[in-house]
């Protein structure tokens, strides 16, 4: 017996191996598929049907390049319209966006951290871009000011910008500064004309565990020649300025997040430039381990505007409100079924033709990962 045990124990010595790889590749993904039923996009494209199926695949290829360096990607492949904000393109179109693709350096020590990133970056303005993934967003749609690149139509692009960013946190304080090649209201890639330096700064304070308030500022040229700008005009004279305040609170089964934003568009030959203000609040409650209920109530307020050719200020567009509710059911650890309904309305007047009923099945795919020894 003693000999048997001896032989067995001799085989126990395994080389010690670190739990965390310093070098490695990982590829988490989120696949969501669903459909929306609404007559909203028939107003843009009369031939469109009320039912629009779609899907989105978010891939996050990332490489760890040591203790502090890493490369990170976020690629969005979708068949639009997948989100309510894509209702201006009512035909099924396959789109690919590189939302993020950057090289980063990170140092964390105790309650201090510093991250420097360069490449394609998600905007540092506002807080919703942090939960753009369907597995993070408890609802089906996005807040009204976030959306696809559309020259100011959605002031805050969700699809990233080339640039660089420094993020830091020191105890309860956090701050960030981002420089990008173009405006969040008129994003450009590195090959397009009309690029100009824009900056975004943000800061936050964690009042206590679970309660954080933050603010962000964005400023820079956004107009381009041929669209409001004459060839002789300099876009930096008419910048776009955005101010945002955000807050998050969570405790137990309850959480609330919200934002208030103000966007100021300066145009040449305008006596009165338009201002857009937007705010939303988004409460969520976990009803049981499988079921949650979330809601987003948002209000968009548009100022009047006046050009030099107009005798009096005019309404830019009626104020808009939207209420969205969603029920989420966790089928298993990886799959979430969301059923949502949105009531968009203008100046408080409901138009049921624009209501959107949507269903999403979201599947979080465990990361394919490989540690390099």
Of residues 313 through 372, those in contact with another protein by CB under 8 A are 330, 332-333, 364, 366-367, 369-371
C-alpha 310: how far from its chain's center?
37
Q: Which two three-digit tokens encode residue 185?
A: 């209201």
Least distance CB 143 / another protein (angstroms)? 17
Min dist CB 202 to another protein, Å, is: 8
Site map (CB under 8 A) of another protein, residues 260-299, x = contact: --------------------------x-xxx---------
Minimum distance of another protein from residue 137's CB (angstroms): 13
Question: Of 136 and 236, which CB lies nearer to another protein in the complex structure?
Answer: 136
Which range of residues in 23-31, 51-59, 151-159, 343-351 is near another protein by CB under 8 A? 23-31
Whether a cis peptide bond, with omega within 30° of 0, leads into 191 is no
Q: Is residue 255 close enough to count as binding another protein by CB under 8 A? A: yes
Q: How far is the CB of 6 from another protein (least distance, A)?
A: 5
Closest approach, Cβ 263 to another protein, in A, equals: 21
Question: CA 363 to CA 340: how far, in whole Å?
Answer: 17
Query: Which residues have a Cβ under 8 Å from the Cβ of 247 and sit 6 or more positions away?
Result: 211, 212, 213, 214, 256, 257, 258, 259
CA–CA gap between residue 142 and residue 150 (Å, rounded): 15
Residue with tokens 């009309």: 194
Contact 336, 135 (CB under 8 A): yes
List the x/- string, 31-70, binding to another protein by CB under 8 A. -------------------------------x-x-----x
Under rule CB under 8 A, which residues in 192-221 are in contact with another protein?
202, 204, 206, 208-210, 212, 214
Are 75 and 96 within 8 A, CB to CB? yes
- In the complex with another protein, the residue whose CB is nearer, 214 or 344, is 214
Structure tokens at 199: 């900056």
Tell me the CA distances in angstroms from 220 to 54, 166, 186, 306, one per residue in order.
35, 18, 10, 22
Residues 88-127 that bind another protein (CB under 8 A): 104, 106, 108, 110-113, 115, 117, 127
DSSP symbols for 139-178: SSS--TTEES--TTSSSEESS-EEEEEEEEEETTEEEEEE
Binding mask 130-169 for another protein (x = CB under 8 A): x------------------------------------x-x
**Longest alpha-carbon distance in the chain:** 104
Choose between 79 and 215: whose C-beta lies nearer to another protein. Answer: 215
* CA proximity to 193, closest of 181, 184, 201: 181
Q: Output the CA angle 300-122-88, nearest 5 degrees.
A: 45
Q: Candidates 172, 226, 313, 318: give the one binding another protein (CB under 8 A).
A: 172
- Interface with another protein (CB under 8 A), residue total 71
List 252, 309, 348, 349, residue binding another protein (CB under 8 A): 252
* Least gap, CB of 210 to another protein (angstroms): 6
Tell me how far, at minimum, the Cβ of 102 lies from another protein, in Å. 10
Query: Which residues inside 71-90 make contact with another protein, applying CB under 8 A?
Result: 72
| CA 176 to centroid of chain Cα atoms | 16
* Segment contacting another protein by CB under 8 A, of 7-15, 41-49, 191-199, 338-346: 7-15
Using alpha carbons only, how large is the chain's radius of gyration in Å?
Answer: 24
What pairing do the DSSP bridges indicate for beta strands 156-157 and 146-147?
Answer: parallel
């Amino acid at each position: 017996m003693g000999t048997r045990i001896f032989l067995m124990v001799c085989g126990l010595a395994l080389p010690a191996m670190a739990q965390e790889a310093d070098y490695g590749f990982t590829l988490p993904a989120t696949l969501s598929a669903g459909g929306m039923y609404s007559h909203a996009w028939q107003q843009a494209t009369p031939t469109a049907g009320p039912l629009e199926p779609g899907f989105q695949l978010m891939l996050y290829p990332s490489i760890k390049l040591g203790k502090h360096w890493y490369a990170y990607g976020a690629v969005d492949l979708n068949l639009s319209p997948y989100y309510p904000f894509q209702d201006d393109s009512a035909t099924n179109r396959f789109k690919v966006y590189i939302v993020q693709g950057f090289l980063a350096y990170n140092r964390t020590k105790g309650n201090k951290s510093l991250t420097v990133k360069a490449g394609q970056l998600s905007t540092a303005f506002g807080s919703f871009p942090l939960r753009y993934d369907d597995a993070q967003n408890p609802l089906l749609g996005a807040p009204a000011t976030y959306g696809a690149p559309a020259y100011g139509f959605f002031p805050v692009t969700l699809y990233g910008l080339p640039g660089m960013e420094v993020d830091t946190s020191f105890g309860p304080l956090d701050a960030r500064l981002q420089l990008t090649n173009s405006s969040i209201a008129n994003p450009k890639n590195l090959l397009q004309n009309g690029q100009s330096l824009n900056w975004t700064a943000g800061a936050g304070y964690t009042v206590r565990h679970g309660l954080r308030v933050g603010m962000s500022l964005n400023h820079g040229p956004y107009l381009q020649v041929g669209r409001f700008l004459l060839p002789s005009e300099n876009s930096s004279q008419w910048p776009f300025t955005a101010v945002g305040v955000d807050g998050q609170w969570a405790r137990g089964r309850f959480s609330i997040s919200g934002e208030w934003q103000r966007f100021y568009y300066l145009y040449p030959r305008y006596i009165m430039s338009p201002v857009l203000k937007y705010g939303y609040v988004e409460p969520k409650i976990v009803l049981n381990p499988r079921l949650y209920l979330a809601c987003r109530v948002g209000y968009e307020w548009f100022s009047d505007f006046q050009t030099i050719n107009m005798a009096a200020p005019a309404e830019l567009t009626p104020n808009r409100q939207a209420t969205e509710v969603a029920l989420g059911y966790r089928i298993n650890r990886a799959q979430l079924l969301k059923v949502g309904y949105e009531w968009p309305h203008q100046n408080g007047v409901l138009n049921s033709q624009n209501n959107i009923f949507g269903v999403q099945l979201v599947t979080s795919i465990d990361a394919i990962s490989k540690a390099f020894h």
